[in-house]
Amino acid sequence: MKKEKTAESKKSKKAKTKKKEASTETVENEEVLKLQQEKNEFQEKFIRLYSEFENYRKRTAKEKLDTINNASKDLIADLLPVLDDFERAIRNNKDSDDSNAIKEGFNLIYNKFLQSMQSKGLKPMDSINTPFDVDLHEAITNIPTTDDDMKGKVVDVVEKGYYLNDKVLRFAKVVVGQ
Residue 161 has pLDDT above 90, yes or no: yes
pTM comes to: 0.60
Q: Among candidates 139, 174, 147, which has minimal Cα distance to 159? A: 174
Please calculate the CA angle 72-78-84 and round it to the nearest 5 degrees.
120
**Where exactly are the structural domains of the chain?**
1-70, 72-120, 122-178
What is the third-level CATH fold of 122-178? Answer: Nucleotide Exchange Factor Grpe; Chain A, domain 2 (2.30.22)
Give the contacts of 106 (CB within 8 A, at least 6 positions apart).
89
Give residue-wise pLDDT tens across range 39-56.
999 999 999 999 999 999
The amino acid at 3 = K
In whole angstroms, give the CA distance from residue 35 to residue 13: 32
Give residue-wise pLDDT tens across range 87-137.
998 888 888 888 888 889 899 999 999 998 999 899 999 999 899 999 999
Strands 167-170 and 137-143: what pairing?
unpaired
